[in-house]
Amino acid sequence: MVDADQTFVIVGGGLAGAKAAETLRTEGFTGRVILICDERDHPYERPPLSKGYLLGKEERNSVFVHEPAWYARNDIELHLGQTVDVIDPAAKTVHFGDDGTLVRYDKLLLATGAEPRRLDIPGTGLAGVHHLRRLAHAERLKGVLAALGRDNGHLVIAGAGWIGLEVAAAAREYGAEVTVVEPEPTPLHAVLGPEIGQMFTELHAERGVRFHFGARLTEIIGQDGMVLAAHTDDGEEHPAHDVLAAPGAAPRTGLAEAAGLTLVDRARGGGIAVDERLRTSDPDIFAAGDVAAFHHALFDTRLRVEHWANALNGGPAAARSMLGRELTYDRVPYFFSDQYDVGLEYSGWAPPGSYDQVVIRGDAGKRQFIAFWIKEGQVLAGMNVNVWDVTEPIQQLIRSRAQVDTEALADPHVPLDSLVS
């Protein structure tokens, strides 16, 4: 029975952690809620960091999950700029902060998120080498892009994933010259495959972005601390005033590993292994957001989803599970992106090798279409590009596992709802 004598601790002050704290209160929990965040900023949402805020279209205050006063008003003990050093599952304690605070917990949620993967090459210590994960990173990069635009400067981006492409779009809107270096043959290759990845090549090339596929950065050259150029493993040299390292993110599992919790092998996506209720191998410790790897019955595999919707929904699900609610966390993975005049939403999971065809509904040339990834007549994933209010039927198709008529699926005149059996 949950009561006022219990203490629930949340490690990680991102969207998942903040929404978990909110849910504990809205579900009626009256005990202590302690939220520990290693950043000095109040919990915020990350999508604006590479979209509206980076472009100067959204104010800084718009990124925060709650107004600062909300935490005290809801009796959330918020510790900003505090690092957790040790979790002791046997003693059920968390050790954190410069003063060595020790807190005993009844339930613990790990929402530690992910961190940028580093480029293990010479030159990464130069002042002009950047990452984008935190609000402070975005604030710095915002000024860098504006300066590059004013001075006709060059930005080299290592990685053509979502962050790399969104920053490329922002940089071009500021007027900077952009080169993207990517080892795969197309952007977003591991997520969308070559068929739709090629669309992003064309989208960015039309805006003046140069791509260098099939290569990796090997060295960043500088002088007096400043970036001058970037070298690739095929012998090319790209002029650069700044470099964005965007080769992806790695789950922050150090605390969980030290605490003896079961982890997932990096080759299978990494992260903390959790069950359908987001419980770790310790029944009193839960995980949510980017760091949690859960078995998804619909796709019959363990997934770790590094997107906003997973944090938004996973944090509350973990909170309810901590309160003893029976649930199965099986949300269809979802994310969105905005690049230039293209807005898109993606639902599902269909990495290369998992599907046998891609069906297009609409006009791909005008970038107003829906793409469906199909295997043996079933929809694994769908991405709507400049087509709106279709996420629900797309997810219904994915969940239904219905055998679809691909000709009807490709016909914009056939309502998607009618294809769900």
Structural domains counted in the chain: 3
Percent of the chain whose pLDDT exceeds 90: 93
pLDDT tens-digit profile of 263-290? Answer: 999 888 899 999 999 999 999 999 999 9
Are 237 and 208 members of one domain?
A: yes
The CATH number for 230's domain is 3.50.50.60
Choose one of 247, 265, 286: the last residue of a domain: 247
User: What pLDDT does 297 receive?
Assistant: 85
Task: Tell me whether residue 23 is in a domain.
Answer: yes
Are 256 and 219 members of one domain?
A: no
298 pLDDT tier (thresholds 50, 70, 90): confident
Are 233 and 267 members of one domain?
A: no
- Rounded Cα distance between 24 and 5, Å, is 14
Range(s) of the domain holding residue 265: 7-115+250-322
Task: Tell me whether residue 149 is in a domain.
Answer: yes
Can you tell me the mean pLDDT for 51-79? 96
Are 180 and 229 members of one domain?
A: yes
Task: Tell me whether residue 328 is in a domain.
Answer: no
Task: Tell me whether residue 120 is in a domain.
Answer: no
Structure tokens at 46: 């990350």
User: What pLDDT does 363 receive?
Assistant: 95
Are 110 and 255 members of one domain?
A: yes
Choose one of 228, 247, 266: the last residue of a domain: 247
pLDDT tens-digit profile of 1-23? Answer: 457 799 999 999 999 999 999 99
